[in-house]
Amino acid sequence: MIMADASGNIEPAQFGLDKPASQSATGLKGSAHYDWGMQDRLARIFDPKTRRTVMLAFDHGYIMGPTSGLERIDLSIVPLIEHADCIMCTRGVLRSCVPLRCNKPVALRCSAGSTVLTELNDECIGVGIEDALRLNASMMAVMVGIGGPHEAQTIRNLCQMVESGNRYGVPTLGVTAVGRELTRDARYLGFATRVLAENGAQVVKTYYCDDGFDTVVAGCPVPIVVAGGKKLPEREALELAYRAIDQGASGIDMGRNIFQAESPRAMIQAVRAVVHDNARAESAFEYYRDEMNG
């Protein structure tokens, strides 16, 4: 018996026998064997054309309270979000201040536990996978204090987040700690970033260092995004971004050097020019001044 909807169909013939099947993937370092959901989330964070990202970080309040530039996130940060590829924030600020219309991938701060008033980096997992999924996070950020007094606990935090992220296809961003006792040279940063990647972080955030940053990138099997750190003059912050990208970083995850700039809107656009258009620091700074004055 012929089923009614099986009759009169066009015979399938467009098999493209002379064309290899596409091997589409994010093309990001180390990602070839990830599952579809994981790759999809990464592809939202990293621009598919440049395979790089500009992340706007404004999670500082979870350790620093109402940081300069973040007093009113609705006024200072929300207007910048359209220029970012991804936003990095806490669940508290996401729910209270970030409008749904922003519609950007979120790197959700998931570790918590101490502030600058006591002992930094004494953290646990503050946000679990369930709330991360409820918030539709594209990535979960966990701080890890390699070489510091909380090394073991923070590595456990990372492993726990990677474990649940892998179960549901959510990448984990391993964040190398800020800490007075930690030296920011290539030897330390190369060590710390490698340990985070070995423990399963799909993306690692770290700091730029003047000598040997290319070896830090080369030794890390997953993409590295670079934090800006304390506020620098705008020209210097763009130089830092340029050097990091030029030496292989896959993105910039910048906070204070954007939202504490004289013109945050011009600054984030100048950082975009460095990351996505390979602009050198000098021309990005000219662009910054033109945007600010224009």
Which among 136, 176, 144 has a CA at the least distance from the CA of 161? Answer: 144
User: Of the two residues 80 and 88, which places its CB atom closer to ligand 5RP in the complex?
Assistant: 88
Per rule CB under 6 A, is residue 256 in the interface with ligand 5RP? yes
β 111-112/106-109 pair status = unpaired
Q: Which of 254, 268, 271, 279 binds ligand 5RP (CB under 6 A)?
A: 254
- The yes-or-no answer on residue 231 being catalytic is no
Per rule CB under 6 A, is residue 255 in the interface with ligand 5RP? yes
22, 115 Cβ separation under 8 angstroms:
no
Considering the complex, what minimum distance in angstroms separates the CB of residue 292 from ligand 5RP? 20
179, 146 Cβ separation under 8 angstroms:
no
Which among 272, 255, 253 has a CA at the least distance from the CA of 174? Answer: 253
Q: Which of 85, 123, 234, 253 binds ligand 5RP (CB under 6 A)?
A: 253
Sign, Cα dihedral of 217, 167, 141, 121: negative
Give CA–CA dist 9/24, Å, rounded: 30
Q: Which of 38, 54, 86, 88 binds ligand 5RP (CB under 6 A)?
A: 88
User: Of the two residues 129 and 144, which places its CB atom closer to ligand 5RP in the complex?
Assistant: 144
Per rule CB under 6 A, is residue 268 in the interface with ligand 5RP? no
Which residue pairs, CB below 8 angstroms and at least 24 apart, start in 114-121? 114/63, 115/62, 115/63, 115/64, 115/65, 116/63, 116/64, 119/149, 120/63, 120/177, 120/178, 120/179, 121/145, 121/148, 121/149, 121/150, 121/154, 121/177, 121/178, 121/179
User: Of the two residues 184 and 276, which places its CB atom closer to ligand 5RP in the complex?
Assistant: 184
From residue 57 to residue 86, the character string flagging contacts with ligand 5RP as x (rule: CB under 6 A) and all else as - is: x-xx--x-----------------------
Considering the complex, what minimum distance in angstroms separates the CB of residue 264 from ligand 5RP? 12
From residue 18 to residue 57, the character string flagging contacts with ligand 5RP as x (rule: CB under 6 A) and all else as - is: ---------------------------------------x
With H, G, I as helix, E, B as strand and everything else as coil, classify residue 206: strand
Q: Catalytic: which of 19, 49, 104, 205? A: 205
User: Of the two residues 39 and 257, which places its CB atom closer to ligand 5RP in the complex?
Assistant: 257
With H, G, I as helix, E, B as strand and everything else as coil, classify residue 230: coil
β 111-112/224-227 pair status = unpaired
Considering the complex, what minimum distance in angstroms separates the CB of residue 115 from ligand 5RP? 11
Which are the catalytic amino acids?
A: 205
For ligand 5RP, the binding residues (CB under 6 A) are 57, 59-60, 63, 88, 175, 227-229, 253-257
